[in-house]
Amino acid sequence: MDAKRNTVGREGDGIDPREEARRRDSGGDGHGRANGAHQQARFIAQVQMAVDCALQTAAAPILNALSVHEVVKEGGALHVVLMLRDADVKLDTIAAVKAVTHASSMIRREVASAITRKETPELRFTVLPAGAAKVGEAS
């Protein structure tokens, strides 16, 4: 009776389920979920923390008044959006932009020491005016 069993295979027979799961999770690009979005989010968080620490430890008080609002990947560069740490403090946005531009090499060095990459990304900074919650918005 066993010899008369249907020997026609079903779709998926003989395929290792682990291989199938890897293929499904990778999306065909060779990188699984853990290597894609998770590593990118961790990298952005490292950059955000490094820039924030650099601003807090800077010698210029105007830089101490700023904090990182968000870091967004734009092509090969990272766009770092800065805003006031304390909303009650008045800030000259033009002076803050000049101070950040002047300190950009120091901030980039801090980022380079904090991240686990061969090359440090280019950083572009935007200082939000007081009361703005996102780029292009003013109070």
The string of pLDDT tens digits covering residues 10-47 is: 666 677 777 767 776 665 555 555 567 788 888 899 99
What was the pLDDT predicted at 91? 82
From CA 105, how far away is CA 111, in angstroms rounded? 10
Per this entry, what is the length of the chain? 139
pTM beyond 0.85: the answer is no
Predicted confidence (pLDDT) at residue 139 exceeds the cutoff of 50: no
- Tell me the pLDDT tens digit for each residue of 68-118: 999 999 988 999 999 988 877 788 889 999 999 999 999 999 999 998 778
Per-residue burial over 53-71, b = 16 or more CB atoms within 10 Å of its CB, e = otherwise: ebbeebeeebbebbebbeb
* Residues 126, 132, 134: CA angle, nearest 5 degrees: 60
Token reading at 120: 């440090």
CATH fold for the domain made of 44-127: GMP Synthetase; Chain A, domain 3 (3.30.300)
